[in-house]
Amino acid sequence: MAGMRIPKSRTAYGEELKAQREAAGLTQEKLSELAIMSRTHIAHIEAGRRKPSSDDARRLDQVLGTSGVLARFLPTLDGKLIADDFEQVRLFEQQTTMIREYGATLVPGLLQTEAYARAVFASFFPPKSREQCDNAVVTRLRRAKVLDAPNPPVLWELIDEAVLRRPVGGPAVMAAQLRHIGELGDRERVRLHVLPFSVGAHPLLESDLMLLCFDDAPPIAYVEALYTGALHDDPVLVRNGQTAYALALSDAMSHADSLALIKSVAEEYEHDER
């Protein structure tokens, strides 16, 4: 439709897609069949949570008769999904079938104990109030409940050796934290791999990374640094993240050897505490 105007924001893009779909008399389910996409993915696009790939947009244009407009406006969409990307990550964690994560300096959030999480939040700058710390700890522990669901996602955790050696909260907190990681590592759907210092430089050296996969939608990547976090669904960026993760994982210790190291370091902390 030549007169269609799509503002840059993903929310507006999604609203326009919904308007065009309804004008064509199509349900999300019917559009998904005609455009060869999942209904869930279309729902995420219409809600402004996801950005369609170039191929998706071209098929949507073809089905809806929108003269290529949906494809042409893709480059004008920003790289973020929503203002608070990590809030969206928490929602996606409930839907994912597989999580692959790299922790560069801290134990990844899904693995953290209450005492470890509290020590992390207490070190923030600007400082958090006691109430803010309490709320942050509760939220972090609530995230981990996804691992106790009836059908939890497969979880691969790649942890830098620096995570094990940094005594966050002191020896007692670290010992309990590493014991907790070891217990999680005994679960069938959890794989733990330590990236030892001896590897030196590797593709994930500069930041944390989380890769999330879904049954009915394209994968996404979340990259986090100081005061910032970015959620990406651009296929090229996600593929690059997956490749970097695979390269780093290829240099990591095996699951069994990693669990043995984690147990050994926990014993060192327990000795220090005594």
Q: Which residues contact 2 (CB under 8 A, 6 or more apart)?
A: 67
If asked whether residues 108 and 243 sit together in one domain, one would say yes
Q: Is the pLDDT of residue 48 over 90?
A: no
Domain count, the chain: 2
Q: Is 3 part of a structural domain of the chain?
A: no
Q: Is 5 part of a structural domain of the chain?
A: no
Q: What CATH number corresponds to the domain at position 266?
A: 3.30.870
CB atoms under 10 Å from CB of 43, counted, come to 17
pLDDT score at 183: 97
- Window from 6-15, 62-71, 91-100, 135-144 with minimum mean pLDDT: 6-15
If asked whether residues 150 and 196 sit together in one domain, one would say yes
If asked whether residues 59 and 103 sit together in one domain, one would say no
pLDDT score at 84: 55
Q: What CATH number corresponds to the domain at position 26?
A: 1.10.260.40
pLDDT score at 83: 38
Q: Tell me the C-alpha distance between 34 and 19, whole Å.
A: 17
- Window from 203-212, 221-230, 235-244, 265-274 with minimum mean pLDDT: 221-230
Task: Answer with the one of 45, 76, 107 that is the final residue of a domain.
Answer: 76
Q: Is the pLDDT of residue 112 over 80?
A: yes
Q: What is the mean pLDDT of the chain?
A: 89
Q: What is the mean pLDDT of residues 95-101?
A: 95
Q: Is 231 part of a structural domain of the chain?
A: yes
Measured torsion, CA atoms of residues 37, 38, 42, 43, in degrees rounded to the nearest 10: 180
If asked whether residues 60 and 116 sit together in one domain, one would say no
Q: In what order do the strands lie in the sheet with 190-195?
A: 190-195, 154-160, 98-103, 208-213, 220-225, 228-232
Q: Is 203 part of a structural domain of the chain?
A: yes
If asked whether residues 51 and 113 sit together in one domain, one would say no
- pLDDT above 70 as % of the chain: 93
Tell me the pTM.
Answer: 0.74
Q: Tell me the C-alpha distance between 261 and 274, whole Å.
A: 20
Which DSSP string do the residues of 104-159 spell out, in sequence order? SSS--GGG--HHHHHHHHHT-SSPPPHHHHHHHHHHHHHHGGGGGSSSPPEEEEEE
Which stretch of DSSP H or E encloses residue 22? helix 10-23
Task: Answer with the one of 56, 76, 96 that is the final residue of a domain.
Answer: 76
If asked whether residues 133 and 259 sit together in one domain, one would say yes
Q: Is 149 part of a structural domain of the chain?
A: yes
Q: Give the tokens for residue 18.
A: 């919904």
Q: What is the mean pLDDT of residues 63-80?
A: 76
Confidence of residue 11 (pLDDT cuts 50, 70, 90): confident
238 and 219 Cβ atoms separated by less than 8 Å: yes
pLDDT score at 273: 80
Q: Is the pLDDT of residue 60 over 80?
A: yes
pLDDT score at 27: 95
Q: Give the tokens for residue 243.
A: 């490749």
Q: Is 151 part of a structural domain of the chain?
A: yes
Are β-strands 208-213 and 98-103 bridged in parallel, bridged antiparallel, or unpaired? antiparallel
Q: Tell me the C-alpha distance between 178 and 264, whole Å.
A: 9
Task: Answer with the one of 25, 57, 76 that is the final residue of a domain.
Answer: 76
pLDDT score at 29: 94
What is the C-alpha end-to-end distance of the chain, expressed in Å?
Answer: 74
Q: What is the mean pLDDT of residues 15-34?
A: 93
CB atoms under 10 Å from CB of 63, counted, come to 20
Q: 18, exposed or middle or buried, with CB in 10 Å at 0-12, 13-18, 19+?
A: middle
191 three-class SS:
strand
If asked whether residues 68 and 161 sit together in one domain, one would say no
Which domain, by its residues, includes 140? 85-273
Q: Which residues are registered as beta bridge partners of 228?
A: 225
Q: Is the pLDDT of residue 100 over 70?
A: yes
Kindly report, residue by residue over 138-163, the tens digit of the pLDDT. Answer: 999 999 999 999 999 999 999 999 99
